Amino acid sequence: MTRFLPAEDYLPSGRYELLPFRFERLEGERVLLSNMAGEALTVSSADLTTLVNGDLDRSGALFSRLRANHFLRQPEDRAALELLALKLRTRYARLRDFTSLHLFVVTLRCDHACRYCQVSRQSADRASFDMSRATADRAIDLLFRSPNQALKVEFQGGEPLLNFDLIRYVVLSITERNRQHKRDIQFVITTTLSLISDDTLAFCREHRIVLSASLDGPEDLHNANRPRPGADSHARFVAGLEKARDVLGPEAISALMTTTAASLQRGPGIVDEYLRLGFHGIFLRHLSPYGFALKTKSYQGYDTARWLEFYEETLTYIIDLNRSGVRFTEQHAAIILRKMFSCHDPGYVDLMNPSGAGIAAIVFNYDGGVFASDESRMLMEMGDDTFRLGSVHEHGYDEIFSAPALLSALEDSFTLSAPMCADCACEPWCGADPVYHHARHGDPLGRKAESGFCQRMKGMTRIFIKAMEDPFVAALFRRWALSC
């Protein structure tokens, strides 16, 4: 008859070894730990000390949790190393695919005069501010040089529909040329919807183009942010929205908000407006620094702290909606949570490390200028052309993608070699944002202690971790993360 040994006999003996991890202190003597693959746990401050001293009780629940989650191992645990390596490889797999998002700025002309916009021109001068076919052709050449099988083409402006002829030309041209290349291509037009016509919608339906529109909140807020002749931006948006949904289906139109100082008081109201208009989620965007002149440090700090209050309040409101049975997602959270819940990168350009600039996205301006990101373009409108990588008319693919401006921005901002970032527990979920840091601090790395970007990311992660102490929220966040 076989003798069965008790569980105690299978506990490991001898010293355990730490596996690489980072920590950040939270409030109330709690500490956040994250391992090499970006998986997180919270422990008490005392437990952290015990852990590092090698004194953790081998029979305790904490030891088995840390061992199962790859924060420590016994010397005989070989699988842990292979699994961590696998997870790391998954995290960086996206790099191989290279540039996916290609923005075509087809015109700077716009019917709106949004207060935070830096680029649009109130002008009828097509020649000066529209992209030409010649420029488009060269940009398309560069597009197909990308090794990525999946390409996303996004039309930006101004108001892109004001140059719809060029959009039509680009879509048809790319579709035709793609017969040879056989990539998966998705088209998006960012538009206010104020000028959407039946013809435009028919074309969009035919080529499966999706629309990305702006909705800042309830009518008064939206119109105050986004003036146009007739002061009817919101009404036109709603009319355009319904019309577009009738032709393209609701899933084809998404809405983005821009957050201004006025928005900070109105979080729940903004969410309600999205809900009222039939959207199933919202992206609570941070205040963009580009619409304002560079401010003093203190203003910037106030901004981030105040924004985090707005964010937490609005997120709580959204969670409560879900509690009451309404499915509504906060998409900014979903993107960050995806990085916390899995090793699969959501591909959100602004939160990538190495930076998404160039690697994930590239911008072709109306005049053929090539930029590392949309923010880079806006920076140039403010007089700083640091991140202008060249021109489609003068430079080839290699010159653009190995432009010193791009390479040094990527290298200098790489978080794993950046002070503070290299030690930060949130690093796996964060990103490098060289353009922001250049604009704010004068170098791509920035001074993280003063960085609004850093404060925002740390602030948001803390909010998520606290909220997930509630099992309902943990399950909700997991669903958001894994379906985004």
Tokens of 139: 């940009």
Tokens of 51: 């852990």
The alpha carbon of residue 459 and the mean position of all alpha carbons in its chain are separated, in whole angstroms, by: 16
Closer to another protein by CB, 14 or 383: give it. Answer: 14
What is the distance between the terminal CA atoms of the chain, rounded to a whole angstrom? 54
Task: Determine which residue in the list 22, 138, 152, 234 makes contact with another protein, applying CB under 8 A.
Answer: 22
Instruction: Please state the length of the chain.
Output: 484
482 binds another protein (CB under 8 A): yes
Going along 399-484, which residue ranges are E strands? Answer: none
Tokens of 435: 């353009």
21 binds another protein (CB under 8 A): yes
- State the nearest-atom distance from the C-beta of 461 to another protein, in Å: 16
Task: Determine which residue in the list 57, 199, 320, 423 makes contact with another protein, applying CB under 8 A.
Answer: 423
User: CB neighbours of 255 closer than 8 A, spacing ≥ 6?
Assistant: 212, 213, 214, 215, 274, 277, 279, 282
List the x/- string, 305-344, binding to another protein by CB under 8 A. -------------------------------------xx-
For residues 287 and 308, give the distance between their C-alpha atoms in angstroms, rounded to a whole number.
Answer: 10
DSSP bridge partners of 365: none
10 binds another protein (CB under 8 A): yes
Bridge pairing between strands 17-18 and 40-44: unpaired
The alpha carbon of residue 435 and the mean position of all alpha carbons in its chain are separated, in whole angstroms, by: 14
15 binds another protein (CB under 8 A): no
Return the closest-CA partner of residue 145 out of 400, 366, 325, 365.
Answer: 400
For 22, 36, 245, 430, 452, the CA distances from 424, given in Å and listed in that order, are 6, 11, 44, 10, 16
121 binds another protein (CB under 8 A): no
Closer to another protein by CB, 142 or 424: give it. Answer: 424
Closer to another protein by CB, 271 or 481: give it. Answer: 481
Within positions 439 to 468, which residues make up the interface with another protein, using CB under 8 A? 447-450
What burial class does residue 358 get, using C-beta atoms within 10 Å of its C-beta: 0-12 exposed, 13-18 middle, 19+ buried?
Answer: buried
Tokens of 132: 């030409």
- State the nearest-atom distance from the C-beta of 75 to another protein, in Å: 10
Which range binds another protein by CB under 8 A, 34-42, 184-192, 370-378, 405-413? 34-42
Within positions 70 to 99, which residues make up the interface with another protein, using CB under 8 A? 74, 76-79, 81-90, 92-93
- State the nearest-atom distance from the C-beta of 353 to another protein, in Å: 16
Which residues lie near another protein (CB under 8 A)? 2, 4-7, 9-12, 17-23, 25, 36-37, 39, 48, 52, 64-65, 67-69, 74, 76-79, 81-90, 92-93, 297-298, 301, 342-343, 419-420, 423, 447-450, 475, 478-479, 482-483
